[in-house]
Structure 1
Amino acid sequence: MTARLLLLLLGLVPLCLSAQILYKYVDDAGQVHYTDRPPADAASEEMDIQVDSLLGPAEISARRADYAARLQNVASGRVVIFTTDWCRVCKKAKRYMDNHSIAYSERDIEKSDSARRDYERLGGKGVPLLQVGQQTMHGFNAGSLDRLLARQ
């Protein structure tokens, strides 16, 4: 019985390891695709995936501190959030801040060229991107935002 269980667990190890590899390829129509298996008929690029947060997709960094400080000084709110209209996580973050009376300034990166440039200077990887003082949060996690605000 113990030997069977051990064999079963050892058989699952390759499955766990292969789940961490991600391949990126572009099809004939120019569409970018991501998959866990390399495509047979297209050249692909193996992606290096790094988990930056145990709490979720939010990643907090102090990079670009000088620019972040300048951006914070011009912002009307305590938090600057870079968004798009179609981003559901952006809506969730704004709803959370509204419900908790957290002042913020919203900048849509698709409607404003200056917002897009600021977003790129801050190392934007996706939306939402939140700026709190000199700290940048890529993604949204309520607990992480609360901890950032508590440090201010």
Structure 2
Amino acid sequence: MNKTAILILVAAVILTAIPLRADTYKYTDDRGDLHFVDDLGSVPKKYRKSARTMDDLPALSVMDAQPTAPARSRPAAPVRATAPRENSTKSVEVYVTSWCGYCKKALRYLNEKGVSYAVYDIEKDQDANRRHKELGGRGVPLIKIGANKVRGFDPEEIDRYLRQ
């Protein structure tokens, strides 16, 4: 082998050994909309201090690959957390899907805080889906705390609305 071939081989080995990493940043704007960008420069300056890196984004997965019958419209039966309620008299509703990693994180967080809540799966309950849309929901989780809404999983926002 000549020197050029060896250099190309060594360069290829070195380049494949270097992990390529692209950070994803999350921020919430003044309207409460949650945004994800892959470049901190894409975050408006006034939100950069609150932008956070999302190192642990959940992998996409299909929980139920078999087709299901459409849900019948019926009054939603909320599932209540078993943990004792935090010092809050506000009602808390969480709109989720079964495959959403951030929904699971939000529910786990509310349980750890001892917050009682009702959870609604917008893919399995047509009434919940309608309420989700009426609340301006475009994604999940959507957490309604009293009259306030938290779009996405944002522990600081959840805590702020629980304290109000």
Q: TM-score, length-normalised on structure 2?
A: 0.47
Give the alignment of 1:1-152 within 5 angstroms.
54=50, 78-151=91-164
Letter matched to residue 139 of structure 1: G
Deviation at 1:85, TM superposition (A): 0.2
Task: Answer 1 or 2: higher relative contact order, Cα 8 Å, separation at least 6.
Answer: 1
Q: Does the CA contact (< 8 Å) of 1:78 and 1:102 recur in 2?
A: no
Partner of 2:32: none
Deviation at 1:78, TM superposition (A): 2.6
Q: Does the CA contact (< 8 Å) of 2:95 and 2:119 recur in 1?
A: yes
How many pairs were matched up?
Answer: 88
CA distances 1:101-129 after superposition (whole Å, capped 9, x unpaired): 01110010000000000000000010000
Change (3 A) 1:117 1:99: same
Partner of 2:15: none
Partner of 1:7: none
Greater Rg, structure 1 or structure 2? 2
Q: Does the CA contact (< 8 Å) of 2:122 and 2:128 recur in 1?
A: yes
Letter matched to residue 132 of structure 1: I
Q: Percent identity among equivalent residues? A: 35
Higher share of residues assigned helix? 1
Q: TM-score, length-normalised on structure 1?
A: 0.51
Structure 1: tracts of 5 or more residues without a match? 1-35, 37-48, 58-73
